[in-house]
Amino acid sequence: MSRTRTVGVVTQGAGCHQAGAYQWWGGSAYLWRMSHRSESGFEFAPVYGPEALDGFEPDAKLGEPGRFPFTRGVYPTMYTERPWTMRQYAGFGTAAESNQRYHQLIDHGTMGLSVAFDLPTQMGYDSDAPIAHGEVGKVGVAIDSIDDMRVLFDKIPLDQVSTSMTINAPGSVLLLLYQLVAEEQGVAGDKLTGTIQNDVLKEYIARGTYIYPPKESLRLISDIFAYCKAELPRWNTISISGYHMAEAGATPAQEIAFTLADGIEYVRAAVASGLDVDEFAPRLSFFFVARTTLLEEVAKFRAARRIWARVMRDEFGAKNPKSLMLRFHTQTAGVQLTAQQPEVNLVRVAIQGLAAVLGGTQSLHTNSYDEAIALPTEKAARLALRTQQVLAYETDVTATVDPFAGSYVVESLTDEVEAAAVELMEQVEEYGGAVAAIEKGFQKQEIERSAYLIAQEIDSAERVVVGMNKFKIAEEDPYEPLRVDPTIEAQQTERLAKLRAERDQAAVDEALAELKTAAQGNENCLYPMKKALQARATVGEVCNALRDVWGVYVPADTF
């Protein structure tokens, strides 16, 4: 899969000249690409005209915005009445430090919070667990109990702020902690809005923060669907994620194919548990990446909406139009950011954010320019938010619902991405569905193959990365990164010791025993889990109770 082929380097010339396939500007070397391929491997034509849409059926493939098949967006007015939700991803160190950052983001105009948790929390371990040593508070905030959750959302009105939490295997635990803190604020469950990522299948494919085996993980996700239907009706119960697959090397076609295949598996599991599809499907959401390859990214988002609408209608018989809508959050591509000349990342993020907006995202996180080096500084996080605000308020991209509708190149690319994604989804079905394909290593192998080709192209400079393999500078400007306090692990250990000394241990033990009984049977696990957390059981203790019953997932050594 070669995206570009370098055909010449020209170092002299005045003004702009063109001859054959070459084009150059005076003053500096400029690489002109003769052969263009999309990220998914489709050959770009130099010019697109009406012939590109031969056989194109506008009514079947486009429709109207807000109507089946939702190619042009899930809402009739899209951004013409209000912009997307500007949701900045943040979390580091202690709950108090992250709370301070959240207040800063809200003051700067963030419309929704997005919580990053540290690795021990993501894996369901307490900060004082031996396996957590050295990782506490590093890539996100450390949350061990309801005590930490109270601090994290101190003086943040949870009935007014939408919160997304990037948490998967322990998603139920963090959701219940959030609900308990909201109840302490006097906020009822039907007032809470937000999302838990809760997408375990992609962890087996591309990320690795899984705990339980696939079957038990799907059971817990179905319990979450049922619990939220009854207790948190406005909460998005899952954010089915292609982002991490893309960061691992998936092409746009692979990203949406494997993500939608996971979505199908979740819907099947929920239906098999006795839920009606229209009871939970309107609360499903998705999470995708936005790369700098703007045209194909726009096409990818359009194709994904079209495929999902047809799957939900034709396979699952969904009747509610909201069940057919693929609503999604987008994050700009962290994997495309460079530690070299990091200020260039500001340009990359602006283009990536524009691709997400033109593709019709419902919410957006723009990465900070310094994230390839360290956790973002306050200034960098503010600039990332300002990027979205410029797109929303200083450009005309929100003036019309679907700027690219009818574009020869975008409609053609949308068809190509759709066809490639559907073919991959059919291959997943041949294995018996997403879980069976995961167990055979299919998705992982396909993504790793793509990642290897990308690495080869970057190493050879066939794929140009500005500032890294081309247009380098001799000496980088000095930069002072944000550093996490190394004493956080000791602080969290002290907090845990104090919590265990103060709480009613008998109440904790009783609630954890009830959770184990529910896990062994068919009861919804979230009710006894909430009771345990309210009694100040820790995240690790709750996850360990389920580990005792369900075990842990151990991937095969080789596929």
d(CA 43, CA 4): 10
Residue-level pLDDT at 33: 45
For residue 401, give both structure tokens: 């619902």
C-alpha to C-alpha distance for 99 and 88, rounded to whole angstroms: 13
- When pLDDT is averaged across residues 257-269 and rounded to a whole number, the result is 97
Residue 166 banded pLDDT, cuts 50, 70, 90:
very high
Q: What is the pLDDT of residue 21?
A: 34
Q: Are 85 and 194 in contact (CB under 8 A)?
A: no
pTM: 0.88
pLDDT in tens, 73-128: 999 999 999 999 998 888 888 999 999 999 998 998 887 888 999 999 999 999 99
Coil, helix or strand at residue 371 = coil
Domain ranges of the chain: 4-36, 50-398+407-459
| The pLDDT of residue 18 is above 50 | no
Q: Look at the alpha carbons of 65, 70, 75, 78 in this order and tell me if their dihedral is positive or negative.
A: negative
Phi, psi for residue 24 in degrees, rounded to 5: -150, 155
Angle CA 547–263–422, to nearest 5: 135
At a CB cut-off of 8 Å and minimum separation 6, what does 522 contact?
none
pLDDT band at 37 (very low <50, low <70, confident <90, very high): confident
pLDDT at position 557, please? Answer: 59
The mean per-residue pLDDT over the stretch 382-409 comes to 96
Are 511 and 537 contacting, i.e. CB atoms less than 8 angstroms apart? yes
Distances in whole angstroms, Cα of residue 104 to Cα of each of 212, 367, 379, 480: 36, 16, 10, 20
pLDDT tens digits for range 305-348: 999 999 999 999 999 999 999 999 999 999 999 999 999 999 99
Query: pLDDT tens for residues 451-492?
Result: 999 999 999 999 999 999 999 998 888 878 777 788 999 999
CA distance 108 to 323: 34
Picking from 87, 65, 69, 59, the residue whose alpha carbon sits closest to that of residue 78 is 65
First-residue to last-residue Cα distance in the chain: 23
Comparing C-alpha atoms, which of 539, 542, 528, 530 is closest to residue 183? 530
Kindly provide the b/e burial profile for residues 221-258, where b requires at least 16 CB atoms within 10 angstroms of the residue's own CB. Answer: bbbbbbbbbebbeebbbbbbbbbbbbbbbbbbbbbbbb
Q: Do the beta carbons of residue 140 and residue 117 sit within 8 Å?
A: yes
Q: What is the pLDDT of residues 70-82, one digit of tens each?
A: 999 999 999 999 9
Sheet holding 328-332: strands in order across? Answer: 235-236, 194-196, 162-166, 112-116, 85-90, 363-365, 328-332, 284-290, 238-241
User: Which is more confidently placed, 549 or 91?
Assistant: 549
- From the options 2.40.170.20, 3.40.50.2300, 3.20.20.240, 2.30.29.30, give the CATH code of 50-398+407-459: 3.20.20.240
Ramachandran angles phi, psi of 93, nearest 5°: 60, -130
